[in-house]
Structure formats: C-alpha cells, structure tokens
Amino acid sequence: MNNIILCGFMGCGKSTVGKSIARKTGRRFVDMDKYIEEKENMSITEIFAEHGEDGFRDIEHEACKELSERQSLIIAAGGGALTFERNAEVFRGKDTIVLLDVPLETIRYRLRNDKKRPLLQRPDKDEVMKELYDKRMPKYLAAADFVVKGESTPIKTAFSVIDALGLKK
C-alpha cells in the first residue's frame, strides 16, 4: 500500500492528525522531523545552527527519498518539505499527498508561543509567517492530491482525511 503524506504550513496539525489517522487505520506513523533528528542525532534547531537552512533541506530531501521507499506509512512531512519540487517529485504518483488547509490566523494563534521552529525565532515573526504562507500555499496546492480543511479538532480532521481518501478504519 502507498504512503500518505500530510503536508501544510507549520502548525497545521500534520503530526497530531497523522498520529490519529494511524491509530484509526492501523498504519504506522512517522514524523519526518523526528526521523531526521534521530538519524542525525541532533535537534532540528541544532541542524539549522550547524548546517544552515540549505544543509537542513539536503538532509530533509534524503529523508523524503528514504521514507518513500517504505510502504503503508502515515508521514507528517516537515512544513517546508513539499514546497520543494525535488521532494514533491519523490512522492508524486507513488504516494498520496494530502494538504491540511488551515487559515493563517489560526496558525498564528497556534504558534504564538513556539520556541522550536528555527524559521520563526525572530522579532519580525508575524511578517515572515505571512510572507512564507503566501509563497508556500500555491506550492502545497500544486503538490497535493487531496485538500482537507484542518481547522477543526485533530480527531475530526483525521476522520475527514480518512473519508476523503476512503481509507479502511
């Protein structure tokens, strides 16, 4: 069976919703960022600090290739992963890509106290988020096979994904 890749902006719920889908469908869940942290034995923050964003993107690309070799996984992609064509290409055709669509205002609220995402640790966080969100949304939409609204609770969103894809519960 193919993998299901959840994509979307930071804070859209990829990991929480992904875990819930996995539990309900008996599939295995993989969080791409955690996979990278374990493989590199460093936190995402440490990877950004040591290798810069470009270094992180190369590591992330390797992770996409490795995970796409596996089957039946529910994968929560990193928020930037599917905005790069080389990563979308890895999954396209073989796996099913689902965008969790959440408005910027909701994302802002969810990430108001975030300390873990290197791209948001800056005084102009609000402007950066808007710029990134506007730039990325068309890319997520281009990569996605399905678009599911993700504003509701993680459990309801998980059921929306399960229904949209016709997955067995």
Which residue among 13, 18, 80, 150 contacts ligand S3P (CB under 6 A)? 80
* Residues 43, 117 contacting (CB under 8 angstroms): no
Can you tell me the distance from the alpha carbon of 5 to that of 24, in angstroms, rounded to the nearest whole number? 16
Q: Is 33 in the site for ligand S3P (CB under 6 A)?
A: yes
Q: Looking at the DSSP assignment, which residues form a beta bridge with residue 98? A: 6, 146
Amino acid at site 46: E
Size of the site for ligand S3P (CB under 6 A): 10
Query: Is residue 35 within 8 Å of residue 63, measured between CB atoms?
Result: yes
Strands (E), the chain: 4-7, 28-31, 73-76, 96-101, 146-149
Neighbours of 132 (CB within 10 A): 18
| Binds ligand S3P by CB under 6 A, chosen from 6, 78, 90, 144 | 78
Given the complex with ligand S3P, which of 78 and 150 has the nearer CB atom? 78
List 79, 101, 140, 150, residue binding ligand S3P (CB under 6 A): 79
Tell me if 95 contacts ligand S3P by CB under 6 A. Answer: no
Joined together, the tokens standing for residue 165 give 């894809």
Among 17, 44, 88, 102, binds ligand S3P (CB under 6 A): 44
101 touches ligand S3P (CB under 6 A):
no
**Interface positions with ligand S3P (CB under 6 A):** 10, 14, 33, 44, 78-80, 117-119
